[in-house]
């Protein structure tokens, strides 16, 4: 019997731990799972983790990047075709659903799935049968469906770009994967993992200053960006990785980025006056700058572009001392 390949998800974050617990509750069912998260957040890794830890783990796991397949070829790729079905069909071809039989199929970027093929996909999911293009016989399949979207599919449904019945069919178990900036405790854990992966024979460590920059960076590319950064540093670094070794976008924090991270509540609350919103943002911006600089007021003032006396006045005003 073929051994199941192990997949490990590194985390110290409670939200991600809760996700893993939720996955364990549904992993051996045949329910469709929809993974929602920003680009680069690791949806494919979660999909493979679901497959490998399920009872289907010894069977095929087929990954499909929907936005990488031209729409005119997508039907043939997914469902196959018979020889002579169209001009270039010189041979019989099994589709990806057929190749995944007994296992799982992962449809990434389901939000890019063409509207004209959504009815056929729904029919396949409901009937558990496919018919190749040009075929006359149906083929039974036993496939666990995992999909992923980088946006809220409800918006696509409301805009008429995604069928509501298909949405409800794939959204049986929705799982939201938080972006890296919402799980800062995982950043050193995952970063060191990739350093060891890309430079197994080097003894690489992070200085305290470099670690602070990594933790406080916004990581718009999420784990994919972190992985690429670790790979780059593993090639050129020896021993301790220092602040100046980091890419400029990471070590040169922008106060505007701090402001964006500091307080989403201010912009979403209907009950706050303009003055209250300004005070809330200012309070959180100063608090974040102090935290990033170990409560060194001179360093925080430089980061914010304020004089030390002005910063001290505001610290007193907001009782941040």
**CA-CA distance, 254 to 209, in Å (whole number)?**
16
Q: Indicate whether 2 pLDDT > 90.
A: no
Cα angle value 270/272/273 (rounded, 5°): 120
- Provide the mean pLDDT of the chain: 85
Q: What spatial distance separates the first Cα and last Cα of the chain, rounded to whole Å?
A: 63
Give the C-alpha separation, 91 to 88, whole Å: 9
- Mean of the pLDDT values across residues 280-305? 80
Average pLDDT over residues 112-128: 92
Whose CA is closest to 233, among 258, 218, 253, 211? 211
Give me the helices (H) in 80-132, please: 96-99, 115-127
Cβ–Cβ < 8 Å for 248, 234: no
Query: Which residues does residue 61 pair with via DSSP β-bridges, in sequence order?
Result: 104
Taking 80 as the threshold, does the pLDDT of residue 3 lie above it? no
Of the candidate ranges 69-78, 125-134, 205-214, 288-297, the one whose mean pLDDT is the lowest? 288-297
**Considering only CA atoms, which of 297, 261, 263 is closest in space to residue 280?**
263
Residues 6+ apart with CB under 8 A from 286: 300, 304, 311, 314, 315, 318, 320
141-168 as b/e: b if 16+ CB within 10 A: bebbbbbbbbeebeebbeeeebbeebbe
312 vs 273, residue with greater confidence: 312
169-193: burial string, b at 16+ Cβ within 10 Å, e else: bbbebebebbbbbebeebbeebbbe
pLDDT in tens, 170-204: 999 999 999 998 899 999 999 999 999 999 999 99
- What is the pLDDT at residue 138? 85
Residue 34 near residue 175 (C-beta atoms within 8 A): yes
Q: What is the pLDDT of residue 31?
A: 92
Walk me through the domains of the chain, giving residue ranges and CATH numbers. Answer: 14-178 (3.40.50.300), 180-252 (1.10.8.60), 254-321 (1.10.10)
Closest CA to 277 of 262, 287, 290: 262
Share of the chain above pLDDT 90, in %: 49
Confidence band, pLDDT 50/70/90 cuts, at residue 302: confident
Q: Is 1 a residue whose pLDDT tops 80?
A: no
Q: What is the pLDDT of residues 241-271, one digit of tens each?
A: 999 999 988 887 555 555 555 555 565 555 6
* pLDDT tens digits, one per residue of 28-63: 888 999 999 988 999 999 999 999 999 999 999 999
What pLDDT score does 87 carry? Answer: 59
Tokens of 148: 């992923």
Q: Provide the pLDDT confidence category of residue 4 given band limits of 50, 70 and 90.
A: very low
């Amino acid at each position: 019997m073929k051994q199941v390949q192990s997949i490990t998800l590194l985390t110290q974050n409670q939200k991600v731990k809760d996700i893993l617990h939720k996955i364990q509750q549904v992993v051996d069912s045949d329910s469709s799972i929809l993974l929602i998260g920003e680009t680069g957040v690791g949806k494919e890794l979660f999909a493979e983790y679901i497959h490998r830890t399920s009872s289907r783990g010894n069977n095929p796991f087929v990954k499909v990047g929907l936005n990488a397949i031209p729409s005119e070829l997508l039907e043939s790729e997914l469902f196959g075709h018979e020889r002579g079905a169209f001009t270039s069909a010189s041979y019989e071809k099994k589709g990806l659903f057929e190749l995944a039989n007994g296992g799982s199929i992962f449809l990434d970027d389901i939000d890019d799935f063409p509207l004209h093929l959504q009815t056929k996909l729904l029919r396949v999911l409901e009937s558990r049968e496919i018919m190749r293009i040009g075929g006359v016989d149906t083929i039974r399949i036993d496939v666990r469906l995992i999909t992923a979207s980088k946006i809220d599919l409800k918006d696509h449904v409301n805009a008429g770009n995604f069928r509501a019945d298909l949405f409800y069919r794939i959204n049986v178990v929705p799982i939201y994967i938080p972006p890296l900036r919402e799980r800062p405790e995982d950043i050193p854990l995952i970063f060191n993992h990739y350093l060891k992966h890309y430079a197994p024979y080097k003894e690489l460590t992070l200085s305290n200053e470099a670690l602070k920059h990594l933790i406080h960076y916004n990581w718009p590319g999420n784990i994919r960006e972190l992985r690429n950064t670790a790979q780059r540093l593993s090639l050129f670094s020896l021993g301790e990785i220092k602040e100046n070794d980091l890419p400029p976008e990471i070590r040169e924090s922008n106060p505007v980025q701090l402001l964006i991270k500091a307080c989403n509540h201010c912009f979403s609350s209907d009950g706050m006056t303009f003055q209250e919103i300004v005070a809330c943002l200012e309070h959180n911006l100063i608090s974040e700058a102090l935290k990033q600089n170990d409560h060194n007021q001179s360093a925080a003032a430089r980061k914010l572009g304020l004089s030390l006396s002005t910063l001290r006045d505001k610290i007193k005003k907001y009782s941040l001392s």
